[in-house]
Amino acid sequence: MRYVSITPEEKRLMLKATGVDRVEDLFATIPENLRLSKTLDIPEAASETDILKYFHSLGRKNASAEDFEYFLGAGAYNHFIPTVIDSVISRSEFYTSYTPYQPEVSQGTLQATFEFQTLICQLTGMEVANASLYDGGSALAEGVLMAVRTTRRQKVLVAQSVHPEYRRVLETYAANLDIQLQELPFTESGCVDVEALERLVSEDHAAVVIQSPNFFGVLDDVEQAIGLTQSVGALSVVVVSEAISLGLLKPPGELGADIVVGEGQSLGIPLGFGGPYLGLFASKDKYKRQMPGRLVGQTVDSEGRQGYVLTLATREQHIRRQKATSNICTNQGLCALVATVFMSVLGKQGIRELAEQNLKKAFHLRKLLGDSLVFSGATFNEMVVECSEDPAEINRHLVSEGIIGGLPLGRYFPDRSNQMLVCVTEQNSLEKINRLAEALTSVKVTL
Amino acid sequence: MRYVSITPEEKRLMLKATGVDRVEDLFATIPENLRLSKTLDIPEAASETDILKYFHSLGRKNASAEDFEYFLGAGAYNHFIPTVIDSVISRSEFYTSYTPYQPEVSQGTLQATFEFQTLICQLTGMEVANASLYDGGSALAEGVLMAVRTTRRQKVLVAQSVHPEYRRVLETYAANLDIQLQELPFTESGCVDVEALERLVSEDHAAVVIQSPNFFGVLDDVEQAIGLTQSVGALSVVVVSEAISLGLLKPPGELGADIVVGEGQSLGIPLGFGGPYLGLFASKDKYKRQMPGRLVGQTVDSEGRQGYVLTLATREQHIRRQKATSNICTNQGLCALVATVFMSVLGKQGIRELAEQNLKKAFHLRKLLGDSLVFSGATFNEMVVECSEDPAEINRHLVSEGIIGGLPLGRYFPDRSNQMLVCVTEQNSLEKINRLAEALTSVKVTL
Amino acid sequence: MTRTSVTSILNEPLIFERSAPGKSAYSLPRLDVEDVPVEEILDSKYLRTEVRGFPEVSEVELIRHFTRLSTWNYHIDLGMYPLGSCTMKYNPKLNERVARIPSIALTHPLQEEQHSQGSLEILFRLQECLKELTAMDAVSLQPAGGAQAELIGILMIRAHLTQKGSPRKFVLIPDSAHGTNPASAVLAGYEVISIPSDKKGRIDVKVMAEKMSEEVACLMLTNPNTMGIFETHIEEIAQIVHQKGGLIYMDGANFNALMGYARPGEMGIDVLHLNLHKTFSTPHGGGGPGSGPVVCKEHLAPYLPVPRIEQEGERYRLNSDKPESVGRVHSFHGNFGMAVRALCYILSCGREGLKELSEMAVLSANYIRRRLEGHYELPYDTDILHEVVFSDKKQHKNGVTTQDIAKRLIDYGFHPPTTYFPLIVQGALMIEPTESHSKEELDAFIDAMIAISREARDDPEKVLSAPATAKLTRLDEVRAARSAILRWEP
Amino acid sequence: MTRTSVTSILNEPLIFERSAPGKSAYSLPRLDVEDVPVEEILDSKYLRTEVRGFPEVSEVELIRHFTRLSTWNYHIDLGMYPLGSCTMKYNPKLNERVARIPSIALTHPLQEEQHSQGSLEILFRLQECLKELTAMDAVSLQPAGGAQAELIGILMIRAHLTQKGSPRKFVLIPDSAHGTNPASAVLAGYEVISIPSDKKGRIDVKVMAEKMSEEVACLMLTNPNTMGIFETHIEEIAQIVHQKGGLIYMDGANFNALMGYARPGEMGIDVLHLNLHKTFSTPHGGGGPGSGPVVCKEHLAPYLPVPRIEQEGERYRLNSDKPESVGRVHSFHGNFGMAVRALCYILSCGREGLKELSEMAVLSANYIRRRLEGHYELPYDTDILHEVVFSDKKQHKNGVTTQDIAKRLIDYGFHPPTTYFPLIVQGALMIEPTESHSKEELDAFIDAMIAISREARDDPEKVLSAPATAKLTRLDEVRAARSAILRWEP
Ligand SMILES: Cc1ncc(COP(=O)(O)O)c(C=O)c1O
Ligand SMILES: Cc1ncc(COP(=O)(O)O)c(C=O)c1O
């Protein structure tokens, strides 16, 4: 057993020192009748060679971005991942270490996390960001709970154009804390219905949640929504599921958002069948003591040298137990490091150029789609299309051409069963974009 | 340009400090007429994405052990490579460092190399081993040159059953040092013709070179050959091209060899289209001051702590210049580290079990081949087969079944154009071995 | 600019301080569509001018920056990391390689089932293995960590009880429990009643029985508990709780002690969670990601999160049609990458291997206990399994605390154990070796601990001023919390 | 067992000392053929009982062993590594990734051409790029290092001259040349005539002209030479040599100074070698592997090693039918893996990039020279390109030598420069920064050098006793050579 380092002889010596004859004796504290008599119905140990064969065979049962061009986004995006990222996170110093509870021997993780918090603040335009939450869905839930905590109000308006799965996670978290979630409709532009918002929002509301670019890819009317929200003393929670968009778009912070939550997968994290991803959480400075999750702060050591530590721990469960701001303990640390390296690789120019490529390639598709576009609002790299035939059918054709098409909207919006949400990133080629347009509109593209 | 760290502004400051206006001025020392006026006919910089696409497309033009089962050996073997090896050599501490000329900051490389030298001594049964040479071919050449140096004799007998390419490299090295290379024939058993050896060898001979397992896979009559060689005061040089065989076979050292040279590719190094591989060089202790290449030795620091340094450097070109024992400078350091990790992973039991699996799988094929075997001598994991049809033809059929067949011997031995050298390793499956046997003998295997 | 250690550059600044205009570490393909100016595509009201503050560095600088930072971390591949309750075992390299196979790592969570059969098989097979290991009936791999699993587990209990009439009001939690337990219970809408431990370090059954009522939804226990002690009365406990119509949630963070020896499903547990990042060797990544499968009995299965992964003949499918489900806790399928590693680990170890792991983990903990009990106070003399908790009582006389002992261990080249937890032990030193270490490494750790106990007696200053060899001396946490500098500012 | 630094365990023993019977780090598939006992297959006379001394360790111990060792190395990813003549530039991660693509890394050198078209294209395209960069006509990628390339290059000259009548007897080599030059010349069967350098640090053309004769096969020069100085009289030199029927071999180890600015083929060079592990960023791997392409003019092409890689329309083939070839120097196609990395690098940099590299390398060297010339003796005030050589003359007065300065740099967190080479400079300090470093890093190095020159004056002891922060203090090399302990013994 290559994962164990104790030899039979050493085992003997250790048992002797411990004062028992057989290892089994150490388990005597488990009542006889509870001790397992049978051997586990799990295969015998497989060799490294067999393991690799097996998992490669499983891989061949998948379609993946290795062999297909993806136009599927909807909260998980196929972006370029710089090679250096894996070189950094493959250093065991980073990936095999624990939460930096002992700062003297964890300054690497701590400084990198402090850099992450700063980068997220810069990207979102907010004042403070935490060290990560699980994913976009739970980040939204934590954001709403924080708004409820701070405002001591129980009603929350959530735009229907927020990612449906995020909304489901929010429902799960809110279910038993008597929080009332109300839906906020959208107009034919795809933006939140501002009149409805004005009509619905009140002094009873803790928060209003909108997303931009929203689930339909539409750039929402964030500024106006925030204004209306704050006019009644509610907190504005803005969701971002496509972080790359912030390389180009005015960040929620600049527009006055109180809390920004979102998904950081676009920042160098592989599609990975949905996880591990990266929950982003940022807010205005005045709310920092209400924040969920870990925070790294700057300080000095006993000799006055600058260093970093986990701080404001009194918010957390291991100190405050049932009074904690959240129950989260293990977070997505290594994914935060990935995002830190990604943002550092791209830097000021790169993040902009990347965002522009997404915008321009998507715009090329948008032009080709013409009237098949469902919403009139401005978009970044995703858009909803009215299809000439059943979207699932179209996808089936596309697969044979090495293309994974968009998301049939019927899945979340039964009344939109003929619509497809498509995404274009810098990874998509002109040729395949044209092919997609043809398949969606059954109009031949001639360029 | 991401591989340069100087900004335009910093460039300006540095030029100023250096006292010139334009970078071009720094090249003024190159005569005008020699300065290149045109721009290089080399493509513009390609993005990381495009580079990866390009090399993957090249990969698709290859057959590789990723998709095919190989029965091709002949000096390059498809063995299992433990995953941990790449984890170790991917640490930049190892792969981006230079030759350990500054021992205080190179103890990692030095200790690992000292371990390598020891492991090679243990594997070959020799007393000293160096830190590596380029590959099996040049190792043979250096071995012969060392024998010539130490004996001050100019004649060398080389068995025809030594790897043909190694012999060609030897010829290149020996060409102008008036060394006479004479060929030593083999019998129908595939072993060196001992009578011929007895007849040919004389007081004029510096060395007799044999290989075991030899190029035909046959275990040669090493002990007897060594006896006859040393009886005339010549040095016995034994070549090993399949290092795994030493997990099971009596090592040349035990049989009295003076010098052992060979190829270490089998020890965890990927096929890699022929390189980088690993030249092995070991000898009796009394010859150590005649050795080519680097040697790491144990010593202490000024405080008496044990440490390691490059030693006996007076043999080398950077000190001794034209009087050096060899011109080699850069060697195959990282490949030696790979082999060190490989041998440590397998250890005493693993190397034996691995060798046994090779022997037993090859033996299974051997039984199936029966009379088609060309040589009667004992074999390890390679053997020569008389084919039912043109070997190249057979290989063409096999490819369609995911099999890369053996080496058509005609390539090196025109008179053996119907024969094929096949190799079976632990990587080959029973099913494919049977298929190979069928193809080679056109007899259906029924098991 | 002085740098004091050759294999570790100690004064690497923040990445922002390395930045200068014009440096870059990225490269992108040339745009292959018409290059329409951004302003013609989007109204300027949507646009920002730049991401102010974003760094600009070259690839070389970037690599050096993070390489230098990395050398400031202690890590498992360097030496023993005996954090109690965290199960810091070796993270096999094979897991990492397998998780990076492109056809496994690059699949989209929303792509059609028929294009995801490989990924679904991984999830399904792992679920089957976990069921067998725990003797439970159903699993969800969706929770991204133990804490989230706790929330889901309690929500499932709540849903179940609600169906039977009332969700009830309270959750019983031993005072030795991990902080996530009460926090999760509250998040699920319950109030917490704390149950004291008896003098053996176990749940005080008598008190528990008194507190148990028709108003109590469940008892949330950890077994073996955070003292490393097995709750021997588990059956009796379960009976008491079940009799009152309550359920039992087991925090399975310490499952590394039980593999092949005991199964929660046979102890009367209704639902539990496992931590793939503990028992099943997925790396902790400096804080995460983890994965917290929630595993339950048949009667709770209907409430598991959706989608569920089901097998139909040769094929696997995602079933979201579970009307009683408590819903989702993750946007997609949870931390899939951790599931890949865990399955790789289980198949690599095999049935015997998994059992051997638990044996060696328990043996190592008991060995440490025996060798250190003369030197450090043992608050409970109860038998333990996979971890041992000491206290600083003996050293306290000389003014040396758990904190000091922990920091001094750093100078001996070891990561400190978990400190000041569980809360029921004053100045707790919680040591969990796991099965990974050689006797040599264990002895080195034990010798260091003994040496420190001597220093505490003969030369306390040495211990009080530790660490002497780390990048920094002790950090001012009060100042950090007061000034709360949470980001770099130009 | 005391360990003194937390991020680096300093007392890791030899792997053999970690070994104990029964531990193992390997796993092999179960044998799928009949398990015939070895003794029934092979006569016992062939068999050994065991590989005596081979270690037995677990995977965890193995990883820790090599991880700990690794932390004792200085490396490029940590900081500046200004070894003159070695071109220690950044090794791009992308190269490493590309070289590991399975369909590129797992091909057999003897498999049929039609199954190796991808690999052959890599070799062919790299050759074409090197021809363009050097303005030469033909290339062989077979030599596994510069030294082997030198041997081949001279053998080609020898073959050429032999054909024209006589191989001749001598090779002219400047006294500033690298040791491999004379060693290779001798290996090719020639005697070496050393040519002195003039007071400018260049080849003394007058002396060279006198020594040049019909008995001289070739002049072997390095350009820019090991002083970093361009041989401005190269054309005149070539003319003199050619007039006497000799040829010119250029050691291209310093080609990093010339890319996009000058091409050997336009200077009268007949044959040269390049070092992919210097100019083209392939990693040095702690000593190797490298790769030394030999590049020549048409008249020497027939003598290149076989097989040659040729293009026929869309296809690439290996041609061994070159009767005049000097033969093979490698069992197969040379260090292919290095060729993959070099091509990846060339394509990543592109034509402008390559030129920029040389510019920044030359700028960095000149910047260092200017800033240090007041503090360290500059033996030649000649203009330099990519590297600068100082001497310890100034410090020698206080008994501080090059050796001491080098060791003291370690304490400042830098790898020392090349020392005591070239031999024409007493106590040479040979500094080659390459293009990789930021101005910040260069300034830090310069400041350290200046600080050391001050220390040499004010506090020589500090310098003489350096390094103070490395794993070890200075090692006893005499003792090492005398006792010559070259392997571990139980
Ligand atoms: C006993 C116990 N319960 C629960 C948890 C929480 O698990 P996670 O960190 O995965 O959320 C932990 C982890 O620290 C633990 O030790
Ligand atoms: C000037 C010079 N020539 C030749 C060589 C030898 O090249 P290699 O080490 O690749 O054999 C070197 C490398 O150190 C060198 O610096």
Q: Of all helices (H) and strands (E), which one includes residue C195?
A: strand C191-195
CA distances from A26 to A29, A30, A72, C360, C363 (A): 7, 9, 54, 10, 7
Residues of C in contact with B83 (CB under 8 A): 93-94, 97
Cβ density class A148-164: b for 16+ within 10 Å, e for less: bebbebebbbbbbbbbb
What would the two tokens of residue A304 be? 């006055």
Burial class (CB in 10 A: 0-12, 13-18, 19+), D11: middle
pLDDT at A316: 86
A192 has a pLDDT exceeding 70: yes
A238 has a pLDDT exceeding 80: yes
Distance (Å) from the alpha carbon of C62 to chain B's nearest alpha carbon = 10
Rounded distance between C-alpha atoms, residue D95 and residue C285, angstroms: 26
ipTM comes to 0.97
Rounded distance between C-alpha atoms, residue B214 and residue B74, angstroms: 10
Pocket of ligand 1 (CB under 6 A): A 329-330; C 85-86, 145-147, 178, 180, 222, 226, 251, 253, 275, 290, 292
A113 has a pLDDT exceeding 70: yes
User: Which residue do the tokens 């390389």 mark?
Assistant: A247
Rounded distance between C-alpha atoms, residue A97 and residue D476, angstroms: 38
- Mean pLDDT score, C157-177: 97
Q: ∠ CA A123-A126-A132 to the nearest 5 degrees?
A: 70
Q: Say yes or no: D64 contacts chain C, CB-CB below 8 A.
A: yes
| Nearest chain C residue (CA) to D17 | C440
C328 has a pLDDT exceeding 70: yes
Amino acid at B184: L
What would the two tokens of residue A388 be? 């000439």
Question: B147 falls in which pLDDT band (50, 70, 90)?
Answer: very high
Rounded distance between C-alpha atoms, residue C64 and residue B430, angstroms: 49
What would the two tokens of residue D238 be? 């070539």
Residues of C in contact with D92 (CB under 8 A): 59
A444 has a pLDDT exceeding 90: no
* CA within 13 Å, CB half, C175: 15
B446 has a pLDDT exceeding 70: no
Q: What is the pLDDT of residues C86-144, one digit of tens each?
A: 999 999 999 999 999 999 999 999 999 999 999 999 999 999 999 999 999 999 999 99
Counting residues of chain B whose pLDDT is more than 70, the rounded percentage is 99
| Nearest chain A residue (CA) to D30 | A47
C2 has a pLDDT exceeding 70: no
- Mean pLDDT score, D378-404: 97
Q: Which chains touch D (3 or more CB pairs under 8 A)?
A: A, B, C
Ligand 2 centroid distance, CA of D147 (Å): 6
| Residues paired with residue A208 on neighbouring β-strands, in sequence order | A157, A236
Q: Which of C17, C60, C348 to mutate to test the interface with D (most CBs of D within 10 A)?
A: C60
Yes or no, beta carbons of A332 and C352 under 8 Å apart: no
| Nearest chain D residue (CA) to A108 | D7
Q: What is the pLDDT of residues C441-482, one digit of tens each?
A: 999 999 999 999 999 999 999 999 999 989 999 999 999 999
Q: C17 Cβ partners below 8 Å, 6+ apart?
A: none
Burial class (CB in 10 A: 0-12, 13-18, 19+), C210: exposed
Closest protein CA for atom 7 of ligand 2: D146
Ligand 1 centroid distance, CA of C180 (Å): 7
Q: B181 Cβ partners below 8 Å, 6+ apart?
A: B156, B158, B170, B171, B174
From the list D214, D184, D182, D186, the residue with the least C-alpha distance to D195 is D182
Mean of pLDDT over chain D: 96
Helices (H), B327-427: 333-369, 391-399
Mean of pLDDT over chain A: 96
Ligand 1 centroid distance, CA of A329 (Å): 7
pLDDT at D11: 84
pLDDT at D3: 37
Question: D7 falls in which pLDDT band (50, 70, 90)?
Answer: low
Q: What is the pLDDT of residues C329-375, one digit of tens each?
A: 999 999 999 999 999 999 999 999 999 999 999 999 999 999 999 99
Q: What is the pLDDT of residues C211-245, one digit of tens each?
A: 999 999 999 999 999 999 999 999 999 999 999 99
What would the two tokens of residue B346 be? 């397998």
- Mean pLDDT score, B114-123: 98
Q: Dihedral of the CA atoms A366, A368, A372, A376 (nearest 10)?
A: 30
Ligand 2 centroid distance, CA of B240 (Å): 29
What would the two tokens of residue D476 be? 């006893």
One-character DSSP codes across B188-244: TTSSB-HHHHHHH--TTEEEEEEESS-TTSBPP-HHHHHHHHHHTTPEEEEEES-GG
User: Sign of dihedral through CA atoms D24, D29, D30, D33?
Assistant: negative
Burial class (CB in 10 A: 0-12, 13-18, 19+), A386: middle
Q: Which of C91, C356, C475 lies closest to A307 in CB terms?
A: C475
- What residue ranges in A360-410 does DSSP mark as E strands? 382-386, 403-404, 407-408
B314 has a pLDDT exceeding 90: no
Q: Of all helices (H) and strands (E), which one includes residue C173?
A: strand C170-174
Question: C9 falls in which pLDDT band (50, 70, 90)?
Answer: confident
Question: A442 falls in which pLDDT band (50, 70, 90)?
Answer: confident
Q: What is the pLDDT of residues A392-406, one digit of tens each?
A: 999 999 999 999 999
Counting residues of chain C whose pLDDT is more than 90, the rounded percentage is 97
Q: What is the pLDDT of residues B175-225, one digit of tens each?
A: 999 999 999 999 999 999 999 999 999 999 999 999 999 999 999 999 999
- Mean pLDDT score, C258-268: 98
- Mean pLDDT score, D446-455: 97
- Mean pLDDT score, A198-223: 97
C3 has a pLDDT exceeding 50: no
Yes or no, beta carbons of B4 and C27 under 8 Å apart: no
pLDDT at D399: 96
- Mean pLDDT score, D226-241: 98
C4 has a pLDDT exceeding 90: no
What would the two tokens of residue C313 be? 């003949």
pLDDT at A446: 63
B447 has a pLDDT exceeding 60: no
Question: C7 falls in which pLDDT band (50, 70, 90)?
Answer: low
From the list B437, B404, B422, B398, the residue with the least C-alpha distance to B67 is B404
pLDDT at A318: 83
Q: What is the pLDDT of residues D252-295, one digit of tens each?
A: 999 999 999 999 999 999 999 999 999 999 999 999 999 999 99
Ligand nearest to the CA of C288: 1
Instruction: Give chain D's length.
Output: 490
Q: What is the pLDDT of residues D68-87, one digit of tens each?
A: 999 999 999 999 999 999 99
Instruction: Give chain B's length.
Output: 447
User: Which residue do the tokens 């989608």 mark?
Assistant: C307
pLDDT at D5: 44
Mean of pLDDT over chain C: 96
- Mean pLDDT score, A165-193: 97
DSSP symbol at D308:
E
Describe the crossing of helices C146-163 and C180-187 by its angle, rounded to 10 degrees.
Answer: 40
Describe the crossing of helices A333-369 and A107-124 by its angle, rounded to 10 degrees.
Answer: 30
Cβ contact B125:B253 at 8 Å: yes
Cβ contact D344:D96 at 8 Å: no
Question: C42 falls in which pLDDT band (50, 70, 90)?
Answer: very high
CB atoms within 10 A of CB A392: 15
State CA C241 to chain mean position distance. 28
* CA within 13 Å, CB half, A202: 6
Q: What is the pLDDT of residues B375-413, one digit of tens each?
A: 999 999 999 999 989 999 999 999 999 999 999 999 999
Cβ contact C137:C296 at 8 Å: yes
Question: C5 falls in which pLDDT band (50, 70, 90)?
Answer: very low
| Residues paired with residue A211 on neighbouring β-strands, in sequence order | A239
SS3 C354: helix
